[in-house]
Structure 1
């Protein structure tokens, strides 16, 4: 039985009947429940926490988002928890789609206004749809064929006679010829991988439009064998000018075949399953937005790895890796993104900020920012919510080092996301200068 279950981060799942199912509580089948428990064991062995088991009837998900397709036919879709209300399924799905596009730098093809309806379908159908649109575009442009050397034994002479093998031919098979010839064929690694991904999509899609298009494309690629060694074929995927029109479909093949996720679901079941740590998605989303704000003269580094917390026996000990490091005008600004909701009115509870986050930024500031730098700014970035919609008053680290806690507007549409900066920050002046330069260039 095929079943779609949509929840969000930290939701609780059970095999019992839930009276009022929501994005935070849902029912799954016993087989899906057991599969998730086994999957959690695989994640735990790899050092990641997928979920917590609460008794024999409840599971509590962690901060992973994405899709898991179980062998019993259940599709579990896990969305970001960026609103308090339960009626945010479509907006959460749209946000997750944009975050995945940004994090993986996916070349998304838009099919017009009808494309918006895909957000009402599961995330897995969006992946399938984007793969099919990319493949349809590739087929219209023309799939690349190549000459393939064929060596065979046949009754008729075709191509070049292999004299060495022919002289070794047994007398009773003297009427056969060992030949070599080239065949103009679609059978090479790129097309084999596309056929393998198309077979996965065609056999697993539950959307009528995707099913129809996938089977039409299967007829077009009927002569292409499917890849049986995905990892090896991906290694020899060719680039360059002659294969440039294949570049847009590569990341979608990797997604469908489970070769590109930060945490792909491995095992004997090969549906479209992919999970992403929400913290990492948010970090990449913030990075893309900040990069657009900065002037060309500024340099933005992700996960800088040049400093250590201390030295031990002449070597660095405990490497410090801030999420983002901005270098502009000879000065540095350290930024760190945290996927956690704050409450600006809960000062007595430290606004919900973890003390460890302040310790972390304190260490980053003393190691990455020079003591003689005039403006020493550290930035903690959290998602904007109704309870946290403006920068908090600055926190002072001695000597002369300031920590800012800023909200990040996730935005309802593409390119509407933005970092909300306090006017008195040096970072605000850098962004304002970049905007003035852009305005002059546009006029």
Structure 2
């Protein structure tokens, strides 16, 4: 059985012998049991990785990324975005692009051509980027640090520890109790890099990555690996002397599993990168829109300035729109939803609950505006390729439902009167 299984959101997995595709696939019984146990830990944390359907079927939720089971099976979950054909390469390219933009990751292989040519699971792409950054760091030189040693020698070196020396028993006065500093590469940053490198050496299945990983391991064989991941991450310095370590840090965290919005619980992590698609979409839209804002505009994300109601002068039920943009005295509320809309269906597939939510945002965040404007952003699809006519809650409050093109990273605006904030920066999909 192929150790790498590629599916997409909401796919169904089974232990039965079936023809595997993007929407359903066969996995081993041990991997199935591991996923069920993992789903139990997610459910206890308040979310769900999958829905269990009987003893041999489960249906994934809207998580994307890579999971590696203890038995060696690697499950790659891609976004359900492209509608024609399987489009594994396009979905993988899109997911890499969104992760790179959402977490502000710099790559050594920049440009869309490199992502298109890299036909391998997402985890292999992450490991390759880590290796390229680490290789660049090693060529620039690792940062060493002084370590204080206290030892006993027959010769003087460094500083003599007078107190310990005078306490020497008879017959050992010829041995010197010394303190001295040694210049070594044993520091938290290097220990974390070595731990991540060891993990890549064991996990990568790409020949080029395997070769580069073992070359680097040979060069860094004297480095100890981290034994306390959390403690060393807290000790990672970000000062001027460590500036050349910054490009490799996010890739190191991803390889070690510390850069995931959703942590995979348990003793076995493998190379696992798991993201809730709605959160990844929200973060990607925020990063792309922030780039288009004029200098006089500011953006806040997940603000918690208003509450749905008050009780005994205390706010209850905080209202947290995804984005709040302010320009001069004008404000805009933006919210994202990872859902397919269809302009040909009744009510376009919009949710009444979402409209209640946006109405509450508008009533509290835009109550002082002469004309309150809100945006509800959905992914661009062939069935939803242009903004809908505005929805009016009142004469002073209206909502725009707008598609967002994931490939170009821009709002799609064909309306004759776009919102003034984007009047000079909106792009149109041709």
Partner residue in 2 for 1:379: 375
- After TM superposition, the structure 1 = structure 2 runs for residues 255-294 of structure 1, keeping only pairs within 5 Å, are 255-294=254-293
- Equivalent residue number for residue 366 of structure 2: 369
Structure 2 residue runs of 5 or longer lacking an equivalent are none
How many Å separate the matches in 1 of 2:155 and 2:33? Answer: 59
* Structure 2 residue 13 is matched with structure 1 residue 9: no
Deviations 1:42-98 (A, max 9, x none): 111111111010000101000111110111000000010012334211111111111
| Corresponding residue of 1:420 | 412
Q: CA deviation at 1:155?
A: 3.7
Picking from 418, 422, 426, the partner of 1:431 is 422
Aligned CA RMSD, in angstroms, stands at 1.9
Pairs within 5 Å for 1:144-223? 144-171=143-170, 173-223=172-222
SS in 1 for 2:59: strand
Q: How does 1:208-247 map to 2 (within 5 A)?
A: 208-247=207-246
Distance 1:77 1:7 in 2: 6
Q: Kindly provide the CA deviation profile for residues 102-143 of structure 1, in whole angstroms up to 9, marking residues without a partner as x.
A: 222112221679833663101111111010011011111111
Q: What is the Cα deviation at residue 173 of structure 1?
A: 4.4
* Counterpart in the other structure of 2:357: 360
From the superposition, tell whether residues 269 and 41 of structure 1 become closer, same or farther in structure 2 (CA, over 3 Å): same
- Scaled by the length of structure 1, the TM-score of the pair is 0.92
* Equivalent residues in 2 for 1:17-416, closer than 5 Å: 17-19=17-19, 21-110=20-109, 115-116=114-115, 119-171=118-170, 173-346=172-345, 348=346, 350-371=347-368, 373-411=369-407, 416=408
TM-score computed with the length of structure 2 as normaliser: 0.95
Contact 1:343 1:388 in 2 (8 A): yes
**SS of 2:118's equivalent?**
helix
SS in 2 for 1:171: coil
1:234-265 CA distance string (max 9 Å, x none): 11111121111011111111111111211121
2-structure distance, mates of 1:252, 1:294: 28
Call closer, same or farther: CA 1:383–1:301 in 2, change over 3 Å: same
Partner SS state of residue 260, structure 1: coil
Q: Unaligned regions of 5+ residues in structure 1, if any?
A: 437-443
Counterpart-to-counterpart distance in 1, 2:110 and 2:416: 43
C-alpha contact (below 8 Å) 2:413/2:426 kept by paired residues: no
Residue correspondences, number: 427
The superposition leaves residues 155-181 of structure 1 with CA deviations (integer Å, 9 ceiling, x where unpaired) of 443322222122223335444332111
Q: Secondary structure at the match of 2:180?
A: strand
| Cα offset, 1:217, TM superposition | 0.6
| Cα distance between partner residues in 1 of 2:155 and 2:241 | 35
